[in-house]
Amino acid sequence: MDSVVSDAASSFGVAPLVEPVTEPDEPLQPWQTDRTRAPIATKIVIAGGFGAGKTTLVGAVSEIEPLQTEALMTEASEETDDLSGTPQKTTTTVAMDYGRLTLDDDLVLYLFGTPGQQRFWFMWDDLVRGAIGAVVLADTRRLKDCFPALDYFESCGLPYVVAVNHFDDSELFEPEDVREALTVPAHIPVMIMDARRRISVIETLLALVGHALDETPE
């Protein structure tokens, strides 16, 4: 399994393995103080429909200040972006989100959040290059919005898990109900999570890493 962060990171001006950026109060990891201990760098893509919580997820677990490309939404997007499910949303990702999470001493996850709107889908091929897998965020109020992401990862053969981001005003469904509604194959993990809660996000990422290892053990 290719566990090296792809050239896509450098193409966006990100060089995570050279002089890692740390916050003033962030404890240094062993691989940051001992250069002989190269970390296992693993790239993960966070995808899903518009307003599903991708930016929130990356921000909830990133141990560095996440790179975000949020732009204010204007009247020009009213006819193309459906805000019926997210009426309070005022910004949108126009390129990508980027964050880093260290799991264990030498396992580092690099998280790349994709833009949700169709007009930005042309960036997906670059963002997923070199990734071991993807988290597809689903909102039960707008399940159809995650179908493009599901179709994309099925077509390119990238391992993925489905994470239902449970919003406060949405009905809570069982994972198997979501699986049936989305016609997700039985071997694909489907989880209920909260993108605002760090532990919930970490559990989802661990499920993806485990699933990717099962799918591509080499």
For residue 44, which of 136, 120, 121 has the smallest C-alpha distance?
A: 136
pLDDT of amino acid 50: 80
pLDDT of amino acid 32: 63
pLDDT of amino acid 133: 96
The CB density around residue 159, as the number of other CB atoms within 10 Å, is 22
DSSP state of 19: S
At residue 212, what is the residue type?
A
pLDDT of amino acid 68: 63
Beta strand 40-48 pairing with 133-138: parallel
pLDDT of amino acid 211: 96
Beta strand 107-113 pairing with 40-48: parallel
- Say what the alpha-carbon torsion angle 134, 124, 9, 99 is, to the nearest 10 degrees: -50
Q: How close are the terminal C-alpha atoms of the chain, in Å?
A: 5
DSSP state of 65: -
Q: Which helix (H) or strand (E) holds 147?
A: helix 147-156
pLDDT of amino acid 38: 59
DSSP state letters, 32-60 = HH-TTS--EEEEEEEEESTTSSHHHHHHH
Render each residue's pLDDT in the chain as its tens digit; 218 residues: 444 334 444 443 444 443 444 445 566 766 566 666 656 789 999 999 888 888 899 999 999 888 765 544 444 444 444 545 544 544 444 457 889 999 877 789 999 988 856 656 667 788 889 999 999 999 888 888 889 999 999 999 999 999 999 877 778 889 999 999 999 999 999 999 999 999 999 999 999 999 999 988 66
From the centroid of its chain, how far is CA 104?
19
pTM given for the model: 0.70
pLDDT of amino acid 138: 93
Q: With respect to CATH, is domain 7-13+37-215 assigned 1.10.260.40?
A: no
